[in-house]
Amino acid sequence: MTRAAAALALVCAVETGLAQPPERPQDVEVPGLRIMLHAGWQLLFHDGCRFAVPLSWRRDSDEGFAQSPDGSSVSIQMLKVANWSAHKADLRSTFVRAIVHEDSSRRLWIESDAGPRVQHYVAVVDGVNVCAAWMELTAGPHTAARDTAMRIADSIGPAPDGW
């Protein structure tokens, strides 16, 4: 193909809509928080904590609770714990048949299958303060449910002063 023919093919593709427009980024870094917010998601703050949910989720007036159209929900609160290790041990003993996604010096994430709903407890420590979130997600397509849980869990943490 000659250069002229290639150029003509490119112009025709653009004019007929066959060429794809450049994609917009699907994730945006939130300044000062070092988290990525996915397109179509909102960042909420409550009681010194932060979490993200899809825009379709309704939040309550104090923003500590949000619910999706399918009934999935997340609630968050700030806890004071004297001993992070003891707090984690208590929770792990509460969830006997659970999947532990993370048990680190920074975060505890436990998943429990409760029939048509999958429950997640995610706690992120910052000194003696713990941002603790309970998620109850409708069991749907495995990939979609896992992606939603992961995005919410990754967004949970302390909110900087002044937010």
Residue at 62 is within a domain:
yes
The pTM of the full predicted model, rounded to 2 decimals, is: 0.78
Which residue type, as a one-letter code, is found at position 95? F
Query: Which pLDDT does position 120 carry in this prediction?
Result: 92
Question: Could you tell me if residue 131 is inside a domain?
Answer: yes
Running along the chain, 163 residues long, what does each successive block of 10 average in pLDDT?
37 44 64 77 92 93 88 94 93 86 95 81 94 88 76 92 67
Beta strand pairing call for 58-59 and 49-54: unpaired
Whichever domain contains 96, its CATH number is: 3.40.1000.10
Q: Is residue 69 part of a domain?
A: yes
Confidence (pLDDT) at 67: 94
Please check whether residue 26 lies inside any domain of the structure: no
Q: How far apart are CA 152 and CA 163, in angstroms?
A: 19
**Domain annotation covers residue 80:** yes
Domain boundaries, position 135: 40-158
**Assigned domain for 29 exists:** no
Considering the domain boundaries, does residue 53 fall inside one? yes
- Residue 32 within a domain: no
| CB burial of residue 122 (10 Å; 0-12, 13-18, 19+) | buried
Are 133 and 51 in contact by the 8 Å Cβ rule? The answer is yes
Instruction: Work out how many domains the chain is built from and give that number.
Output: 1
